[in-house]
């Protein structure tokens, strides 16, 4: 599986997880039991709300015209184009076309989107590194810190300094925080939370029960928690606790995402789950 394919699968997985959240939210009437017509109507609502040019570009590439409020009848005639997204949300089929996947992300308001931005944000510094040519020993190289450039596989320790020195050459929206490389570029699930660890070779990883993953600040905030009747499960009627069943028993987490061991999307807590699993039975 190529790196792009892996990233695309991760993107689709994240969109499905967001769908599980959104179908109980503001647009639940469109998403709880999605149909082509409902998704078309939701698409119009999302496009009215968004100011992102990327969303309108994705729409144009999928439907063949620029979205405007007066194009409702034109879009209505293309309702069948929402069928692949309908069956994708229902878990019946998969999506292969990147732009159609971007429309699915728009419908559930998943961010970062589109796929190009998702890849950049997911890889962080790695995405930028690929645009930087690392000189070999034989090449004449501009002096950045009076040191001989190192080969690509030994360059990690100095990448923070090197990238900051050349950021002016790139017109990308990275901040200094995004560019500074942590000494530990990987993380691993440890009982109830993620810890940053040193990256190991594939051979060493193969002996670990829990795999080592690329460091991800957004994912690293996930924590497994204990709950009780006194736990705050909702804020403004929106769930703030997520769960996933493992061997039939629910495990609870502080945010949405995926179960760190099973990889299944976490589901937002419901009153039914609280009544069944949390409240004490007399």
pLDDT tens track for 234-250: 988 899 999 999 988 99
Tens of pLDDT, residue by residue over 15-48, are 999 999 998 888 999 999 999 999 999 999 999 8
Q: Phi-psi category of 257—alpha, beta or left, where left has phi over 0 and alpha has psi -120 to 50?
A: left
CA–CA distances in Å: residue 253 to residues 132, 191, 231, 242, 248: 39, 12, 12, 5, 16
Is pLDDT of 154 > 80?
no
Is the confidence at residue 155, as pLDDT, over 80? no
The reported pLDDT for the residue numbered 124 is 55
Q: Give me the chain's average pLDDT, please.
A: 78
Q: What percent of the chain has pLDDT over 70?
A: 73
**DSSP summary character for residue 152:** G
Quote the crossing angle between the two packed helices 98-107 and 115-123, to the nearest 10°: 80
Give pLDDT tens digits for 207-216: 346 778 888 8
Residue 1's pLDDT band (cuts 50, 70, 90)? low
- Are 163 and 128 spatial neighbours (Cβ–Cβ below 8 Å)? yes
Q: Pairing mode, if any, of strands 213-214 and 242-246?
A: unpaired
């Amino acid at each position: 599986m190529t790196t792009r394919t892996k990233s695309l699968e991760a993107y689709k997985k994240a969109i499905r997880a967001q769908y599980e959240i959104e179908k109980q939210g503001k647009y639940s009437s469109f998403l709880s039991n999605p149909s082509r017509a409902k998704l078309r109507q939701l698409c119009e609502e999302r496009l009215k709300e968004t100011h992102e040019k990327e969303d309108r570009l994705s729409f144009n590439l999928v439907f063949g015209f620029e979205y405007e409020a007066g194009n409702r009848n034109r879009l209505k005639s293309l309702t069948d184009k929402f069928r692949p997204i309908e069956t994708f949300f229902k878990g019946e089929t998969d999506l292969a076309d990147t732009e159609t996947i971007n429309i699915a992300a728009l419908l559930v308001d998943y961010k970062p989107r589109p796929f190009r931005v998702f890849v950049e944000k997911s890889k962080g510094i790695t995405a930028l590194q690929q645009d930087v040519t690392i000189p070999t020993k034989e090449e004449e190289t501009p002096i950045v810190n009076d040191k001989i450039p190192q080969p690509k596989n030994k360059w990690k320790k100095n990448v923070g300094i090197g990238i900051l020195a050349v950021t002016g050459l790139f017109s990308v929206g990275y901040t200094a925080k995004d560019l500074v490389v942590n000494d530990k570029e990987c993380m691993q699930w440890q009982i109830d939370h993620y810890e940053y660890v040193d990256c190991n070779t594939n051979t060493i990883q193969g002996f670990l029960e829990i795999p080592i993953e690329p460091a991800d600040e957004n994912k690293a905030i996930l924590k497994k928690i204990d709950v009780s009747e006194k736990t705050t499960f909702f804020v403004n009627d929106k769930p703030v606790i997520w769960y996933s069943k493992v061997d039939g028993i629910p495990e609870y987490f502080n945010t949405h995402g995926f179960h760190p061991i099973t990889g299944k999307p976490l589901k937002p807590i419901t009153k039914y789950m609280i009544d069944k699993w949390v409240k004490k039975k007399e």
